[in-house]
Amino acid sequence: MRWVRQRLFWGFALIGAGIILLMITLDWLPADIANLWPVIVLILGIWLIVASLRRYMGRGFTIGFLVFTVGVFWLAEGFNWIHEDLFLPVLLISFGLAILLRGLLVRRGKALF
């Protein structure tokens, strides 16, 4: 039953994203909203992190943390707060932090909550 809910979630999420992109393309929504699309990636990263902390041994935490970091980077780059040349160093630092945090947050053999 769980996989049915996951498929429904991803199906509706993709349809919603497509509708928003279509509305921006047709000028039904202001183009400034297009600069906020990394927020969706941020929310996805947070969702993956929380879901991973509920799983056995925190599976998926590193991926969730990396998705969150990429969302933050793209948002900062969209507002010209950071340069795109910093992407690889930030990604490597994020990967290392994810590994350390997973080791600190996840207890061996059980979920955090």
Of the pLDDT bands very low, low, confident and very high (cuts 50, 70, 90), residue 108 is low
Model pLDDT, residue 3? 65
Q: Contact, 58 vs 106, CB < 8 A?
A: yes
18 phi/psi in degrees, rounded to 5: -65, -40
The better pLDDT of the pair 25, 6 is held by 25
Q: Could you read off the pLDDT of 62-104 as tens digits, one per residue?
A: 888 899 999 888 888 888 888 888 888 988 998 888 888 877 7
User: How far is 79 from 72, CA to CA, in rounded Å?
Assistant: 11
Q: Could you read off the pLDDT of 10-69 as tens digits, one per residue?
A: 788 888 878 887 887 888 877 777 677 788 888 888 988 888 877 766 678 888 889 999
